């Protein structure tokens, strides 16, 4: 039993989709969420930058005395998950494997689509992860960096967003494809437009909700679950301006019971020599 908070990190607001899923599944837990809005999007950053930024957020969360870290960002998971695991002595969960496992269970045609950032697509981490589940799986990936931008600027319910998704995904679906992984935590905020464009027969895999199952399993396994009578808190931090972030949190988490503050991350030296 532990009443310490669960830490989540993301490049910006996208990881809130994971926070929402975990919070709904585990209402007795406290959370510290750090979104690096100032440097978002990570999807167009170099691998070394992504690793350093992620480690800076990990260092920040460790000072908050978290009992577990969820890398609620596909790009950061793809490049930094194993490095983070070596650095800290608490459980670290990424969003790629839970999504891959769920998709491989769901597909009947072994034909899976992945929508992600440039960097996640380039890393081939989803392809590897899916092939580990079943080597017969065929994967078609598409980098959709524009989706991140429109979500970060809180325009994910706009007509502009609807058209952007429709244009971008017009030719994405192939005949055999029956399952599509939303391989960036920003994309669940565009779910309705994505579903509309790809059609009702496509199953969308939102890594947030499958990751929440993994978080619950690890808490139980490690005996780290929070006490039911615990007074839980949601502590949201951003490296960028608070206002847009606050609006998205309120709308997306459907609660006002959170604190939000702007913080500065301590800079780490370049980490390239260490891995």
Binding of a copy of itself by 242 (CB under 8 A): yes
Q: Cβ 97 to a copy of itself, closest distance in Å?
A: 30
Choosing from 73, 76, 189, 253, the catalytic residue is 73
- Residue 190, phi then psi, degrees to nearest 5: -105, 15
Q: Which residue has the tokens 């199953």?
A: 203
Q: Which of 51, 90, 237, 249 binds a copy of itself (CB under 8 A)?
A: 237
Of 258 and 271, nearer to a copy of itself (C-beta) is 258
Binding of a copy of itself by 234 (CB under 8 A): yes
Binding of a copy of itself by 263 (CB under 8 A): yes
Q: Cβ 18 to a copy of itself, closest distance in Å?
A: 19
Residues 6+ apart with CB under 8 A from 10: 16, 18, 33, 34, 35, 36, 72, 73, 76, 185
Burial of 273 (0-12, 13-18, 19+ CB in 10 A): exposed
Tell me if residue 73 is catalytic. yes
Q: Which two tokens stand for residue 108?
A: 């009947």
Tell me if residue 144 is catalytic. no
Cα distance between residue 78 and residue 255, in whole Å: 30
Q: Cβ 50 to a copy of itself, closest distance in Å?
A: 25
Q: Which residues are catalytic?
A: 73, 184
- Contacts to a copy of itself by CB under 8 A: 3, 63, 230-235, 237, 242, 255-264
């Amino acid at each position: 039993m532990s009443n310490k908070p669960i830490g989540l990190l993301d490049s910006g607001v996208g990881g809130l989709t994971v926070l929402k899923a975990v919070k709904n599944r585990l209402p007795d837990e406290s959370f510290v969420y750090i979104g690096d809005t100032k440097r978002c999007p990570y999807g167009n950053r170099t691998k070394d930058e992504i690793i350093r930024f992620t480690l800076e957020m990990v260092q920040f969360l460790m000072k908050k005395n978290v009992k577990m870290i969820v890398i609620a960002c596909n790009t950061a998971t793809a490049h930094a998950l194993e490095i983070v695991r070596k650095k800290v002595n608490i459980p670290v969960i990424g969003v790629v494997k839970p999504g891959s496992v769920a998709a491989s269970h769901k597909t009947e045609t072994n034909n899976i689509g992945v929508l992600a950032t440039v960097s996640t697509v380039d890393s081939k981490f989803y392809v590897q992860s899916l092939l580990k589940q079943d080597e017969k799986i065929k994967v078609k990936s598409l980098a959709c960096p524009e989706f991140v931008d429109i979500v970060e600027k809180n325009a994910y319910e706009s007509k502009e967003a609807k058209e952007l998704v429709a244009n971008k995904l017009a030719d994405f679906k192939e005949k055999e494809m029956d399952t599509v992984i939303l391989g960036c935590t920003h994309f669940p905020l565009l779910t309705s437009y994505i579903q509309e464009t790809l059609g009702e027969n496509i199953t969308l895999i939102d890594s947030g909700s499958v990751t929440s199952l993994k978080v619950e399993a690890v808490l139980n396994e490690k005996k780290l679950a929070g006490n039911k009578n615990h007074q839980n808190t949601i502590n949201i931090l951003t490296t960028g301006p608070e206002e847009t972030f606050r609006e998205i949190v309120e709308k997306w988490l459907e609660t006002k019971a959170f604190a939000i503050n702007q913080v500065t991350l301590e800079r780490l030296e370049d980490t390239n020599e260490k891995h």
